[in-house]
Amino acid sequence: MLYTKNGSIPKPETDGTEGWLEVPMPPEAPEGKEVVWLNWEWVVRDPKPVDRDGYRWKWNHDQMQWIEYALPQTIVSELPTDPLPALTSADVVALTSEQIGAL
């Protein structure tokens, strides 16, 4: 017998706290299949297909199948470079209008 608490992956022992529930042993995985614990049940399924760049396979539990989705890839912090002249502390006292415009 195995035990789960709040949906955790079933283990043969508990830690003695409240909330552990008995669950059945996992079934044997047929050739080429895998057995995983998902949504409070053992699921026999095909292994996840290999992701292509820009796509990700996701398990749809309601349909019991893998579905491939296109994913956005966002670089968070690639910053632009200021094409304008740098301003040093020595420069910033009494600038001309032209210099200020270049800031």
Partner 1 sequence: MGLLSTFGAASGRAFGLTRLSAAIKDAYFNLTTLLLPGNGTNGAQNNTFLDSSTNNFTITRNGNTTQGTFSPFSQTGWSNYFDASSYLNVGTTRFLDASAWTVEMWVNTTSTANSVTLAAQYVAGGGGFAQRTVLGINNSSGTVYIFQGGTAQSGTTNVADGRWHHIAFVLSAGTVKAYVDGINEATFSSFGSPTAVTTTFFYDSANSSSYFLGYASNLRVTNTAVYTANFTVPTSPLTAITGTQLLTCQSNRFIDNSTNNYAITVNGTPSVQAFSPFAPTAAYSAATNGGSGYSDGTGDYLTIATNANLTLGSSDFTIELWWYPTAFNSDGEIFTMGSNAGTNRCYAMYSSGSNGTLAAFAGTGGSSWDIVSNLSMGTAIRNAWNHMAFTRSGTTFSTYLNGVRIATTTASGTLGSNALGVFANNSGTSAAPASYIGGARTIKGTALYTGTTYTIPTAPFTAVTNTNLLLNFTNAGITDATAKNDLETVGNAQISTTQSKWGGSSMYFDGTGDYLFQSGNSPQNALGTGDFTIEYWIYFSALSGSTASVILDYRPSSTAGAYPTMYINTSFKLVYEANSGTRITSSTSISTGTWYHVAFVRASGSTKMYLNGTNEGATYTDSTNYLGSSGRPIIAADGYTLGSQAMNGYIDDLRITKGYARYTANFTAPTAAFPVQ
Tell the smallest beta-carbon distance from residue 98 to partner 1 (Å): 9
Residue 24 Cβ, how far from partner 1 at the closest point, in Å? 15
Per CB under 8 A, residues contacting partner 1 are 4-11, 13, 15, 36, 38-40, 48, 51, 53-54, 56, 58-63, 67, 69-84, 86-89, 92-97, 100-101, 103
In angstroms, the Cα distances linking 41 to 24, 25, 36, 95 are: 9, 10, 8, 71
Return the number of the residue (29 or 36) whose C-beta is nearest partner 1. Answer: 36
Amino acid at 76: V
**Closer CB to partner 1, residue 11 or residue 33?**
11
Position 23, amino acid:
V
Residue 23's nearest CA partner among 44, 1, 7 is 1
Cβ 55 to partner 1 shortest distance, Å: 10
Cα–Cα distance measured from residue 48 to residue 63, given in angstroms and rounded to the nearest whole number:
15
| Distance of alpha carbon 4 from alpha carbon 7, whole angstroms | 6
CB of 27 to partner 1, least distance (A): 17
